[in-house]
Chain A
């Protein structure tokens, strides 16, 4: 102070500067925002709606497409079956179906399954000690170990036979739950036997459930290699069952016939599920394109809204801005303050908008009995989105405000 009042001349070579500290910009801007909550809310309203609509539409898009994909049966989507086009009783499939198909990328389990031809001699009978040797009308199935796995079999008691048994064509069998009841067998620990023809098969396990082949529950099931060795019937309705990785079904469907019968792939009919990926994508891209267009639109409207009200705001505060200029604010100081105010307002709108959107998605999802799928990143990004919107929207009003002539303070 002593300096600036001292007689003219010497100390005036020091160029005075107009300076505004960053912390002061922040404080001035945030005070302008929070001291007038009603005005801020009105300024933010358009952006609140915009961000809410943005988060809500993208959130709903995610929720809706999650519904679409879950409506595709996962079981069905990973199942491939190969059947005979012209059954003639001969052995259609090679003995090593399991091995050939397992070599394909995307196969979880695969195997052949068929029913033995009905024949009085081959009726299955229980052990005389268990059920008086009464013959029952029980179907007999031959299945390679891979076919049991691919049928998604669950074991109630004992174990399934595996390749160890199958490779040796051993005389083993597993019983379906219903067949086991008919035969009076409930426990395999005593190694009960069933008779097919004159041969005794050791029962190693009882199947509790077989989601892909419920027929297994009614049957006596023996390894296909054992069937070939002792009966060689060729079987009827032979079918290869393949369990694939999710999304691999159509690929496997294209490769299976050639892998099984390189000599005559035409003879085989391959059944693949509708490709869930392409179906979902079709639905999704339509739905999400619409949603994202709406979201973008609402954000654009939000930007325009905040720009508009910030502009009105600065016009209304013309005398305050003129005062700041009269007190020594440079144009850039005014620009900074208005942009920061708009950014703070935008960030606030982002928080409120995201909160509204999450609530909205929750309500809609519960009405539709959907599972709400909200990307947490999107919700976290909402305030930043709002801030960017505000900053962008603040530029034009800020530039205008900064051109306020300081002389307005003397004319109002």
Chain B
């Protein structure tokens, strides 16, 4: 059964068309991440689901019930906000209990649920404190606690980690994933951080300009992007794009290098194309050239070590590309090496439409 079903949803802000017809089906228990660049309508979509914005057109069903015109409190949802939204005049305990009190739960039940939520989030010792006496990470835990004490069908998160520093963000990400596994609830999570999206999601919904560009399992989007936009958005460092001309069996780069693309069909010889190659699928040449790989010479322009890996900038076919190599495979800029391109993972796109061919 699907817990959330959105059909042809539109949202206009005055003359501005923020959401332009979205269809979405979220199965029960799934962790769905809405991701996309700033201003693409992620928050707007989430707020429409929550009932905080009126929809201009389309329908929303939650738990099999049409809630398009229902008030937020009648939608059976819980939400975690970016800025925590904790009440400064209430203790941590009362903040967590707020939703239960609003729904007139019995005192004993409130007590039980709050302490269970506090235990899950390891904030049991903070219950008597006030929000101003907490660190950012602790506040975020309380905010999550407020949501999970409730028995909602749908749990919504709007960039809950964006106010935390990088270290804390990593910890909380793990925490949220663990919570999802333990609770098994349906969660919809908004972020503009593609790493968060990749690591957390059962399914990624990638938005662009108020429309769904592509949706699917994280690896699916990563390995089989449908458009240049998707290819470029997911993955870090970003996918390399090199202008090329299609041949019968592959592509020809600007400097004349020809690359055979295994399994690539439907290329129109002579047409302008864009070759997409992920930095992770480029390696320093080994003893033999693996099947489906191509070996080309390169001169290293720039190195950015990241610890176990190093990001090397080097020229390829008239463009500048980034390769993510093992830390000790290269030593310094100017070094002449050979690299192997894993062409089985390459994608070819139409430069005009951005569609993957």
Q: Do A and B come from one complex?
A: no
